[in-house]
Amino acid sequence: MRVLILGGTSEANLLAASAAGAGLDAIYSYAGRTQVPVNQPLPTRIGGFGGADGLADAIRHEGFTHVVDATHPFATEISRNAVTACAATATPLVALERQPWIKAPGDIWIEVADIASAVTALPEEPARVFLAIGRQHIAPFAARPQHAYTLRFIDAAGRPLPLPDANLIVSRGPFTLAGELDMMRARRIERIVARNSGGAGARAKIDAARELGLPVVMIKRPELPDRLRMESVAEVMHWLGHRACLGA
């Protein structure tokens, strides 16, 4: 057995710890988006495979017998490629996928399908907006230059930000409710744009928005091809024929 873990999430990191603890022959794959990725207790590779065909080639040449897609729920390209490549190579695939957040009483959510709809869901009058989305998705918000944007990235922006009034926080989660409340109060945030990523690590901003009575423009999960899905590391370890255990 040789397992390819498509990673870049806290769930993938937990799976890597469990797989290493169980002595699994597994490789952790990063896209290479961040300058300093989290160290893994498994051998790591960094960078794209070159589409579905490249991923299928890697599966064949590197002898992977199982693929776990533990990427972010909004990382649709790699997830689609994994479905195609695993079908082409008859390799078992499972997605380790967290549940989306469910709207709770007190939440003021404006649910939209994608980034373009999130841009148009912002008000015409100037507002202070916390844009809690990835760096690669902020450019469309230049169409609403009247807003004062707060952004938060893991690394300092390499290129100038494409928004005229943008303030950058450089920080890596997980974030706490108290920290998010402080940040939103200090910056007088009036509205939040977020993707329904789910999971505990990014949830604090949603809880803080509810507590402060702030509207959240919530981008819904994208559609993905049908595949085997599991929500916990323990289930995935069981699927791999091992009991979950915490590793190094």
Binding site for ligand NAP (CB under 6 A): 6-9, 29-31, 33, 48-51, 54-55, 71-72, 74-78, 81, 134
Cβ neighbourhood burial of 226 (10 Å; 0-12, 13-18, 19+) = exposed
Phi, psi of 141 (to 5 degrees): -75, -5
> Whose Cβ is closer to ligand NAP: residue 59's or residue 240's?
59
Is there a contact between 32 and 46 (Cβ–Cβ < 8 Å)?
Answer: yes
Which is closer to ligand NAP, CB of 72 or CB of 210?
Answer: 72
- CA distances 243 to 6, 22, 57, 220, Å, are 20, 8, 30, 33
State the minimum distance, in angstroms, from the CB of residue 5 to ligand NAP: 8
Minimum distance, C-beta of residue 79 to ligand NAP, in the bound complex (Å): 6
Q: Which residue is nearest to ligand NAP (CB)?
A: 48
Tokens, residue 42: 């498994």
Q: Which helix (H) or strand (E) holds 183?
A: helix 177-186
Give the shortest CB-246-to-ligand NAP separation in angstroms. 22
Closer Cβ to ligand NAP, 31 or 161, answer by number: 31
Query: Which distant-in-sequence residues (6+ apart) come within 8 Å of 188 by Cβ?
Result: 128
DSSP 169: E
Nearer to ligand NAP, 78 or 95 (CB): 78
CB closer to ligand NAP, 123 vs 170: 170
Shortest Cβ distance from residue 213 to ligand NAP (Å)? 26
Least separation in angstroms between residue 136's CB and ligand NAP is: 6
